[in-house]
């Protein structure tokens, strides 16, 4: 015996379908905006391999080292200036990474 849906059940389900469709539309709009903003923010990001660096620099212990000694190893080269407030702010984090 087939189960019949009441008229009341059909009326209640239509607003639920509309509500879910509205949520899905809002989610889709949110995702489009999110990915659009991300694409816009990274539009000028450098792509490809890093440029070749050569020369000597100070390590975390304030000793001169040759970049050639680190060929094939992970190396963080952090450029900063004493007059740069963002550089001063990030200095502690960079020191923490160098200790690790």
* pLDDT surpassing 70 at residue 2: no
Show the domain range for 22: 1-46
51 in a structural domain: no
Residues 92 and 62 in one domain: yes
Residues 42 and 60 in one domain: no
The tokens describing 73, both together, are 């190893």
Domain count, the chain: 2
Nearest-angstrom CA–CA distance, 82 and 24: 50
Residue 4 pLDDT level (bands cut at 50, 70, 90): low
Give the tens place of pLDDT for each residue, 24-82.
999 999 999 999 999 998 888 778 887 777 777 777 678 888 888 888 888 777 787 88
Residue 87 pLDDT level (bands cut at 50, 70, 90): confident
**DSSP annotation of 48:** S
**pTM assigned to the model:** 0.42
Residues 41 and 66 in one domain: no
Cα–Cα separations (whole angstroms), residue 44 to 25, 39, 51: 30, 10, 16
Backbone φ and ψ for 87, nearest 5 degrees, come out as -65, -45
* Radius of gyration of the chain measured on its C-alpha atoms: 28
Residues 7 and 39 in one domain: yes
Nearest-angstrom CA–CA distance, 95 and 91: 6
34 in a structural domain: yes
Q: Which residue in the block uniquely carries the two structure tokens 């690790």?
A: 100
């Amino acid at each position: 015996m087939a189960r019949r849906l009441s008229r009341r059940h059909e009326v209640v389900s239509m607003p639920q379908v509309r509500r879910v469709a509205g949520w899905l539309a809002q989610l889709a709009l949110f995702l489009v905006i999110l990915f659009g903003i991300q694409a816009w923010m990274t539009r000028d990001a450098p792509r490809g391999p890093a440029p070749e660096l050569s020369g000597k620099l100070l390590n975390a212990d304030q000793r001169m080292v040759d970049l050639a000694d680190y060929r094939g190893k992970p190396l963080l080269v952090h450029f900063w200036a004493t007059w740069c407030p963002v550089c001063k702010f990030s200095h502690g984090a960079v020191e923490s990474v160098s200790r690790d």
